[in-house]
Amino acid sequence: MIERSVTIDVAKGIGILLVVLGHNAAFREGMHPAYEAIYLFHMPLFFFLSGVTFKAGEPLVVLRKRFRSLLVPYFAMGALAFVFDLLVAGPVNAGVELRGILYGTGNALRFVPLWFLPCLFVVSMSATFLLSARARIAAEVTSNGATRRFLAGVSLVGVVAGSWILASGRFAQPPFQDAIGRPLGLPWSLDLAPFVLGIFLCGMLMSHSRVLRNGPYPWLLVASGIAVLSLLVVNDVSLDLNYRRMTFPLAALVGVAAGVAATIALSSIIARTSMLGRLLSYLGSASLVLLMLHSPVQRRVLDQLAPWIANDTVLIVTSTCATVAIICVIDLCVLRRIRALGWVCYPRGSAVGAA
C-alpha cells in the first residue's frame, strides 16, 4: 500500500505538471501537437486517479467529506474572483462572475481549471449513490466479484455513452455557449458526467491492482504510450473535455488508455528514486493548490517573461518552472503556515491531491 501511495502521488505530480503545461499559452501555440497529445489524457488521468484513491461510504458521510474537500476550495476561489470583479470591474461584471460560479463549467469561470472540482463532486456522489442503490436491491451484496462486475458494466456504459455525447458536440453548440461562442455544456459539467464517471469507476476497479504498484515492463509501457499518442495526434485525434470536443472516439479512447498507462508506469519508475520521487510526490500532494492558483500566476509570469525570451522552447520551460516554483513558495511559506488558508487548501489536513 505504501509503494502504491507513492506511485499515485508521483502520478498526481506528473498530472498537475501536465495541467500547468497544457494551460501555458506559449506551449499551446508553439508546440501544438504536444499540446494535443497531453489533452488526450491529462484530465482523464485525474479522474482515474481520483477513482483509485476514492473511499466509498454512506452517502451522507461521503457528501459531507466531498463538499468539504472539493466545494469549499471551489467556492473560496470563486469568492475571490467575485470580490475582485466587484472592486475592479463593477457590480455588473461581478454578477456575471457569480452566475459563472454557480454554473460551474470552465468557460463560465474566471479561473477556468476549477471546473474539475464541481465535476468531480458530481462524479463522486454518482458513484456513491450507485453503490448504495446496488447494496439495497442486490441479493448478493456481500459478493465483491459481483460488485466489481456491476461497476465494470456501468463504467463501460458511461464511457461509451459519454464518448457519443462528446463526439456529437451537442453541448458545445447553442444554447450551450457563452457570449463569444465558447462551449459551456450543462451546469457543473453534467454532460461530461457519463464519460468521466466511467473513467472514475475504472480507477476504483484498479485501486487494488498490482499493476499500479509494480507493473511489468514499465519503460516499454512509457515508450509505447508516447508512440501511440504521437500516432494519434498526427492523425488529428483529439479530446478536450472543457471544450466538449472528441474526434475519432474509439481512437481517442485508445489515447486516454495509452496516456494513463504510460503515466502510471513512469510514476512507478520515479517512485523508486529519491530526489525526483520526493519532488513529484510533493507536487502530487499539493496538486489542489497548483490547480487553484496556476492559471492567474502563469498568466502574469508569461506577461513578464515573453518580452525578454524570444525562443519558444525556453519561454515554455522557464514560464512553467517559474509558475510551479512561485506556487510552491506560496504553499510552503503561506498556505501551510496560516491555519485559515490551510483549512481551505488542505481540507483533510494532509495531501488532497486529486481529492
Q: Please report, in tens digits, the pLDDT of each residue of the chain (355 residues total).
A: 334 478 899 999 999 999 999 999 999 999 999 999 999 999 999 999 999 999 988 999 999 999 999 999 999 999 999 998 999 888 888 999 999 999 999 999 999 999 999 999 999 999 999 998 887 776 555 567 788 889 999 999 999 999 999 999 999 999 999 989 999 999 999 999 999 999 999 999 998 777 766 777 889 999 999 999 999 999 999 999 999 999 999 999 999 999 999 999 999 999 888 789 999 999 999 999 999 999 999 999 999 999 999 999 999 999 999 999 999 999 999 998 888 888 888 876 433 334 4
Report if residue 352 sits inside a domain.
no
Under DSSP, is residue 147 helix (H, G, I), strand (E, B) or coil? helix
pLDDT value of position 139 = 55
Supply 251's cell numbers.
481512437
Give the model's pLDDT for residue 6.
87
Complete DSSP assignment for 157-203? HHHHHHHHHHHHTGGGSTTSB-TTS-B--SGGGGGGHHHHHHHHHHH
> What pTM, to 2 d.p., does this model score?
0.93
Query: Domain limits at 78?
Result: 2-345
Q: What DSSP letter does each residue of 29-46 carry, written as one string?
A: HHSHHHHHHHHTTHHHHH
pLDDT, position 145: 78
Long-range contacts of 177-186 (CB under 8 A, 24+ apart): 178/107, 178/108, 182/107, 182/243, 183/107, 183/242, 183/243, 183/244, 183/245, 184/103, 184/105, 184/107, 184/108, 185/105, 185/244, 186/105
**Beta partners for 246?**
239
Task: Look at residue 188 and tell me if it is in a domain.
Answer: yes
Residue 20 within any structural domain of the chain: yes
pLDDT of the residue at 141: 52
Q: What SS3 state is found at 340?
A: helix
Residue 354: predicted pLDDT: 42
How far apart, in Å, are the Cα atoms of 216 and each of 15, 219, 262, 264? 21, 9, 12, 11
Is 354 a domain residue? Answer: no
What one-letter code names the amino acid at 20?
V
Question: Within a domain: residue 339?
Answer: yes
pLDDT at residue 343, rounded to an integer: 84
Q: Is residue 350 part of a domain?
A: no
- The pLDDT of residue 304 is 96
- Give the pLDDT confidence score for residue 1 in this predicted structure: 38
Q: How far apart are CA 277 and CA 86, in angstroms?
A: 43
> Residue 143: what pLDDT?
63
The DSSP call for residue 247 is S
Structural domains counted in the chain? 1
* Domain-embedded: residue 353: no
- In a domain, residue 351? The reply is no
**pLDDT of the residue at 60:** 95
